[in-house]
Amino acid sequence: MADFQAIRRIVMTLLFVALAGLLAFGGPLLGLSAQQGLRIGGVALIAAGIVGRLWSIVHIGGRKSLEVVQTGPYSITRNPLYVSSTVAAAGIGAQAGSVTAALLAGLLCALAFQFVIRFEENYLIGELGEAYRDYMHRVPRFWPNPSLYRDPDTLCVDPRILRRTLRDGVLLLAAIPFFGLIGAAQQAGFVPVLFRFW
């Protein structure tokens, strides 16, 4: 599973880099004030994604293959880390000043995670058996159901995993200055605008 997780991280990073590279040559059709509003909303989505990832990791803290964690965010969706990453991806896309880019980034991320989730589910069924099958029947795979929320009695946090998740989250914030620089470079004529999108 550790090898799969390493490959997953590399593939997702490459997907984000490829999408950012593509968006760097696009220009939004929205007016400047609409672009700015969308970018501010995108910052909120990135922040929500980071907070969601931290909240999730506090609850699972390296126990994913050892027990069925079913409290906190794991009580409302089986994959809160991936849901949070998808929200952040939409926020990154919004930094391009485009509704299309925000939706495309979120959708591509959600679709990519569906493959990862299926692999992980098969692995977790093998590791955790009937307890995980029961969890699968009660809690939605991806889209959260807040009515199922349950708090844990206590939490035990692995600070190394928390630090790594925070570091990864901070890297997501790099989209903000990246797209700001791209916009400035496009206006100065250093980066060509090859297509326009909403």
Distance CA 96, CA 110 (A): 19
pLDDT at 2 (0 to 100): 64
**Regions of the chain where pLDDT drops below 50:** none
Helices (H), the chain: 2-23, 32-60, 80-94, 99-128, 130-138, 159-172, 175-187
